[in-house]
Structure 1
Amino acid sequence: MKLDTSHMRYLTADDFKVLQAMEIGSRNHELVPIEMIHSIGSLKSPSATNRSLGDLAKLKLVARLRNAKYDGFRITYLGYDYLALKLMLKRDSIYSVGTKIGVGKESDIYVVSDKNGAQKVLKIHRLGRTSFKTVKNNRDYLKNKQTSNWMYLSRLAAEKEFQFMRVLYDLGFNVPIPYDNLRHCVLMELIKGYCMKHMKKYPSYKKLYSDLMNFIVKLANHGLIHCDYNEFNIMIRDEEDAKNHEYGFVVIDFPQCVSIEHTDAKFYFDRDVQGIRDFFAKKFLYEPEHDPTMLDTDGYGEGYKYAYPNFKRDVLRMHQLDAAVSASGYVKKKSREDRDLESAVVNMRALELGSSDDDASEFDSDVDYDDSEDGYDSDEYEEEDLDDDNLAEDEAAENEKIISALSSGSQNLKMDKLGNYIIEE
């Protein structure tokens, strides 16, 4: 989807209150009733709420469900984008949004700038695209259907990726510098280079092959397996930029990482290794074989004893990163958020390389939303269908605290498995 931020400057404080109210209201409602939006948003009058909803609907930041039993709205991904960007602006993390530079099977990538003009990358997670082959049969990726809130799952994926990147960067791994994380967005370093998929030639491709294999082993020795390690998720630095770094590549995309204790750890490890072998065989006709006459085991390929890593032979646990980041498959008891995210990304790991997004237009095609410029109808909704028609005073106070925490970016604000916001004391 296209991220058009041109309208953000014209949104009022009431508009953002309505968006935040809808975000909170969606914890219990797929379609948030208008009266609840007004109550949570604490706008001066119902007419102000209706006016904001009409303006937001025209900009497709919210959408109305046709033929619903009551009058209500849902926040769209674009509206969720606006909420995240608004707070990043407030934090001075970003100042402007540039062009889209990449589209993944579960994310969009944009170039952004901070107030000093430094360019960075903004990755916006969008779980739920129909490029996943099992979406039509398993819409929410959850075996027990614990939640269908894609924005909640996207937020979990972004938080997990930022957590992985921060830990790996601190330990000296070749990953982008992680700057910030908010809702379903991750702000990271802009790598001066290109995706390895577009590589046409490389002066020292045999060394690159060895370094890439060493990365797999080093990551596994720290307790993690990438699970999507291929030419699509490896960036090659420009020749000039590479001179300033030890290695000429950077690895990206970490939400689907698993622990080496995972039941399928060997399968994922071998698949990562095979992905690199297949790429170099196709691109450079480079297919090294094991050479028992060589004694050097510090690398892989020609000139080394082993042509590629082996899980049982080469993986020797040195650190407990999988425990530190609660990676999938680690024996430690996982939180509900970790279980929800694991259910969501399990299908991401199962995808074949190079899956297309041709079916993206089918996403949510079975739900009929009204995004017309007219906004919404004025039909009265049925009061008996509203669970929280009259919020209790204590719940209203809690909502005010949550809105304040959303606006300030408080670290104490968490989500439960249903996407409900809670404030940890």
Structure 2
Amino acid sequence: MKLDTSHMRYLTSDDFKVLQAVEIGSRNHELVPTEMIHSMGGMKSPSGTNRAIGDLAKLKLISRLRNAKYDGFRLTYNGYDYLALKSMLNRNTVYSVGSQIGVGKESDIYSVSDPKGAQKVLKIHRLGRTSFKTVKNNRDYLRNNQSSGWMYLSRLAANKEYEFMEILHKNDFAVPIPYDYSRHCVLMEWIRGIPMKQLRKHNDYKRLYSDLMNFIVKLANHGLIHCDFNEFNIIIRDKEDAAKHEFDFVVIDFPQCVSIEHTDAKQYFDRDVEGIRAFFEKKFRYKPSHDPTMFDTEGYGEGYKYAYPNFNRDVNRIKSLDVEVKASGYAKKMTGVREDKDLEKAVMKMRINDPNEDEEDDGLSDFSAEDVEDDEDDDDDEDEEEDINDVFASDDEEKDLEEENERIIDALSSGGKKLKMDKLGNYIIDEDDDEDEEEETK
């Protein structure tokens, strides 16, 4: 899905009011009634709303549903893109959008510029492209592939990634500088370099290996595990840029991070380690072994005591960044408060190796049996599975939501006397009016 901003300059403030009204209505409606759009948009006349709706529909920023029971519209991903960019434009963090520079399974990456002409990166989360096919097959979580549901989860992922990057940057980790985010978009630093996947040679690959292993351990000591630490999510700075920094690499892509208190924390940690080992063995024929004659434990590889990190031996918590950002798995053991299970269920696919995926995803190879100790607590596994299942609404809850939406639509058609606004700007049924009507009937 390509980002086309050529029409944004022609949209009026009224157009954006209507577009935002559709967004707000989408929070609890698969199809937002036209009358609701007019009411929440704050337009003076229905004709103005209808004109804006027509223009937005032509640009495919909103769309109708076929065979719908009532007249209404839903927000498209293009419309969601426009709303996010408009927010950043209003905050003067983005001025222009350039070309697409990358396409991921869960996101699109664009080159953008700020008002001063500085080049930056815009990551647009596109959850629903591939990662939730398994979720949808297991249970029809987002009924009829409801676009607003995918947008909601994309927004959660973007928000979580921005939080991770912000706190990691403040704690001196080699990550891009996060500048801004809006809805499903994250604005970050442009890194001059190449993905490690494209690396052909390196002047000191043994040091790079050790630095990357130290990054994994340092991250875990601060309470977090990356869960997707491989050559696709590591950028090697060019020589000129690297001379200005402590490390010549930058780590990206954080929505799937988990706490070291997560039930599967050791498994994810070992897989991150094995991903780096597999890359260096394949690319540089570098496969160091433990050397008990060495006493230096400040790094990993040749010349050090240990060839690679071990979760039980090397991870010693010094900070609780996982609690600060509410990383998956932090809640049950650290605070007793549950984290957002919607996002947890969504990003789970990012942490799972699929043997049927393309070759370029093989960076996260299965870790070898000799490196993994089978010491997980079975009871914790069962508890985690039960928590994850809590994400899904029950059949009764889905039925109640459908009935509520039908009542709102009927009330709109009859003049909306039973409706009132909640704090989010959504229409809800006024229960007091219902009770008065029941008493009159009696």
In structure 2, the residue matched to 1:370 is none
User: By how many angstroms is 1:71 displaced?
Assistant: 1.5
For residues 186 and 304 of structure 1, do their structure 2 counterparts lie closer, same or farther at Cα, with a shift above 3 Å needed?
same
Looking at structure 2, the residues matched to 353 and 119 of structure 1 have their Cα atoms a distance apart, in angstroms, of 37
Task: Name the structure, 1 or 2, with higher relative contact order (CA <8 Å, separation 6+).
Answer: 1
User: By how many angstroms is 1:99 displaced?
Assistant: 0.8
**Does structure 1 retain, via aligned residues, the 8 Å contact 2:135–2:346?**
no
In structure 2, the residue matched to 1:87 is 87
Looking at structure 1, the residues matched to 407 and 167 of structure 2 have their Cα atoms a distance apart, in angstroms, of 49
Q: Give matches, 1:19-418, under 5 Å.
A: 19-130=19-130, 134-135=134-135, 137-138=137-138, 149-330=149-330, 331=333, 332-334=335-337, 338-352=340-354, 355-356=357-358, 386=409, 389=412, 390-391=415-416, 395-396=420-421, 398=423
Q: Deviations over 1:319-364 (max 9, x none)?
A: 111111111111224456x221112111221144994599xxxxxx
Looking at structure 1, the residues matched to 422 and 349 of structure 2 have their Cα atoms a distance apart, in angstroms, of 39
**Does structure 2 retain, via aligned residues, the 8 Å contact 1:40–1:399?**
no
Find the residue that maps to 2:94 and give its secondary structure: coil
Looking at structure 2, the residues matched to 140 and 242 of structure 1 have their Cα atoms a distance apart, in angstroms, of 47
For residues 399 and 130 of structure 1, do their structure 2 counterparts lie closer, same or farther at Cα, with a shift above 3 Å needed?
closer
Find the residue that maps to 1:99 and give its secondary structure: strand
Find the residue that maps to 2:200 and give its secondary structure: coil
Find the residue that maps to 1:83 and give its secondary structure: helix
Find the residue that maps to 2:134 and give its secondary structure: coil
Looking at structure 2, the residues matched to 333 and 352 of structure 1 have their Cα atoms a distance apart, in angstroms, of 32
CA RMSD for the aligned pairs? 2.8
User: By how many angstroms is 1:69 displaced?
Assistant: 1.0
Looking at structure 2, the residues matched to 6 and 107 of structure 1 have their Cα atoms a distance apart, in angstroms, of 21
In structure 2, the residue matched to 1:416 is none
User: By how many angstroms is 1:147 displaced?
Assistant: 11
User: By how many angstroms is 1:243 displaced?
Assistant: 0.2
Looking at structure 2, the residues matched to 20 and 148 of structure 1 have their Cα atoms a distance apart, in angstroms, of 13
User: By how many angstroms is 1:148 displaced?
Assistant: 6.9
> Quick check: 1:5 aligned with 2:17?
no
Q: How many residues align?
A: 377
**Does structure 1 retain, via aligned residues, the 8 Å contact 2:169–2:176?**
yes
Looking at structure 1, the residues matched to 242 and 140 of structure 2 have their Cα atoms a distance apart, in angstroms, of 41
Which sections of structure 1, spanning at least 5 residues, go unmatched?
A: 359-381, 403-425
Looking at structure 1, the residues matched to 113 and 156 of structure 2 have their Cα atoms a distance apart, in angstroms, of 25
In structure 1, the residue matched to 2:363 is none
**Does structure 2 retain, via aligned residues, the 8 Å contact 1:141–1:347?**
no
Find the residue that maps to 1:303 and give its secondary structure: coil
Q: Deviations over 1:383-407 (max 9, x none)?
A: 97716625569845856799xxxxx
**Does structure 2 retain, via aligned residues, the 8 Å contact 1:70–1:385?**
no
The aligned amino acid for 1:93 is T
Q: TM-score normalized by structure 2?
A: 0.80
Greater CA radius of gyration, 1 or 2?
Answer: 2
Looking at structure 1, the residues matched to 179 and 407 of structure 2 have their Cα atoms a distance apart, in angstroms, of 47
For residues 271 and 349 of structure 1, do their structure 2 counterparts lie closer, same or farther at Cα, with a shift above 3 Å needed?
same
For residues 242 and 275 of structure 1, do their structure 2 counterparts lie closer, same or farther at Cα, with a shift above 3 Å needed?
same
Looking at structure 1, the residues matched to 359 and 241 of structure 2 have their Cα atoms a distance apart, in angstroms, of 32
Percent of aligned positions that are identical: 70
Find the residue that maps to 2:64 and give its secondary structure: strand
Looking at structure 2, the residues matched to 251 and 199 of structure 1 have their Cα atoms a distance apart, in angstroms, of 15
Find the residue that maps to 1:149 and give its secondary structure: helix
Find the residue that maps to 1:16 and give its secondary structure: helix
Looking at structure 2, the residues matched to 74 and 146 of structure 1 have their Cα atoms a distance apart, in angstroms, of 9
The aligned amino acid for 2:235 is M
**Does structure 2 retain, via aligned residues, the 8 Å contact 1:179–1:189?**
yes
User: By how many angstroms is 1:234 displaced?
Assistant: 0.5
For residues 230 and 397 of structure 1, do their structure 2 counterparts lie closer, same or farther at Cα, with a shift above 3 Å needed?
closer
**Does structure 1 retain, via aligned residues, the 8 Å contact 2:408–2:419?**
no
Find the residue that maps to 1:220 and give its secondary structure: helix
Which sections of structure 2, spanning at least 5 residues, go unmatched?
A: 361-404, 428-442
Q: Structure 1 or 2: larger helix share?
A: 2
